[in-house]
Amino acid sequence: MRKVQMELVHTRYDIFIEPGILSSLGKIVHKVAPHEQCALLADESVYRIYGQRAKQALREAGYNVVVGLQPVGENNKTLDTVGDLYKVLLDAKLERRSPVISLGGGVNGDTSGFVAATYLRGVPFIQCPTTLLAMVDASVGGKVGVNVVQGKNLIGSFYQPRAVVIDPQVLASLPAREFRCGLAECVKHAMISDAGLFDWMEGNRNRILQLDGEVLEELIERNVAIKAGIVGQDEKEHGVRALLNFGHTFGHAIETTAGYGVVEHGEAVALGMIAVTRLAVCEKLCSEETFVRLAALIEKLGLPTRVALAPVPELLRAMTMDKKIIDGRIRLVLPQKVGAATITDSVAEEHITEAWKSIEK
């Protein structure tokens, strides 16, 4: 079994990675939150495939399991869903010490985590992420929350789980496009902090895309370790955690202007990373060679490198709407080379325009 430890100022917990570990879910939950009752809050379509296994594992550990299902999709990451899930917990009279377990991708993890953080002012929370993106990104770091009509992720909290349980075997049923979106976040981690991981992904790209078991485990472990390391230094995003926004300011502008769902988040991040690396080249912060290597890896992983874009003024406006803006200035994470990046809020506007042009179809 592979294990990454999350060390924070006020708490620490383990992130377990092992093929087949879903069948031991109950044992792990029982170690960190023993009780006679628990709630399994799951993505509806994930529940159809893995729900019985998860429920059985929890029952074997002595839990009486209450199930709450979340309809699939980003549109259901809402306060309405939170209300429905509260009702399930209240009707079952779940108590302060009853754990809540999420089973699904980032949508379900963020929503269930918010439910766990607020139900009775907080109950033990265990994440069981089932998409690559949720395994390497969303389930690590304790950000939970939901969307409102005014914007994505505007309501939420920092709430750390007691454990994260990752079974790479569940990726076998994940649609290929979703899998590739998770790879974009892996490329992000490599670009901002681990040149060795970047080399390794270049060398193993075929085995990654074939879902080779050993390679997947290593991919997940290395990426979880990077994210856990960054969050461990800066849990509430006052400094270094902002590096994780690499590619995201351009990416969010693509997502909003294209209309959510047209370009997937991971695809927008892949395009955003290319654009911001072009910007870094224009700003003489990084070499053309780094740009070429990044674009080549993204392409080989089956992610887009060009896209039909909205007019540049509209894109610029969308960039300034990002919630990571401080005092009206766009803060961008710019790469210096593979494995190193820096944060800046002063770049030439014509370079931003040039960056947009570099990914336009």
Ligand X SMILES: NC(=O)c1ccc[n+]([C@@H]2O[C@H](COP(=O)([O-])OP(=O)(O)OC[C@H]3O[C@@H](n4cnc5c(N)ncnc54)[C@H](O)[C@@H]3O)[C@@H](O)[C@H]2O)c1
Residues that bind ligand X (CB under 6 A): 43, 45-46, 49, 72-74, 77, 104-108, 110, 130-131, 133-134, 137-138, 141, 143, 153, 170, 173-174, 178, 181
- Choose between 143 and 293: whose C-beta lies nearer to ligand X: 143
- Choose between 137 and 218: whose C-beta lies nearer to ligand X: 137
- The C-alpha angle with vertex 62 and arms to 61 and 68, in degrees rounded to 5, equals 90
Q: What is the DSSP string of 200-258?
A: HHHHTHHHHHTT-HHHHHHHHHHHHHHHHHHHHH-TTSSSGGGGGGTTHHHHHHHHHHH
Least distance CB 137 / ligand X (angstroms) = 4
CA distance 121 to 115: 9
- Choose between 211 and 325: whose C-beta lies nearer to ligand X: 211
Least distance CB 228 / ligand X (angstroms) = 12
Half-sphere exposure of 220 (CA within 13 A, CB side): 34
- Choose between 110 and 235: whose C-beta lies nearer to ligand X: 110
What is residue 63's DSSP assignment?
P
Least distance CB 184 / ligand X (angstroms) = 10
Active site residues: 121, 143, 185, 227, 237, 241, 245, 248, 252, 265
What SS3 string covers 330-349? Answer: CCEEEEEECCEEEEECCCCH
- Choose between 194 and 267: whose C-beta lies nearer to ligand X: 267
Least distance CB 254 / ligand X (angstroms) = 15
Least distance CB 139 / ligand X (angstroms) = 7
- DSSP H helices in the chain: 25-32, 44-60, 79-91, 106-118, 132-133, 176-193, 195-203, 205-209, 213-233, 248-258, 265-282, 288-300, 312-320, 349-357
- Choose between 110 and 218: whose C-beta lies nearer to ligand X: 110
Contact, 274 vs 295, CB < 8 A? yes
Least distance CB 142 / ligand X (angstroms) = 8
* Type of residue at 230: I
CA distance 116 to 109: 10
Q: Is 20 exposed, middle or buried (0-12, 13-18, 19+ CB in 10 A)?
A: exposed
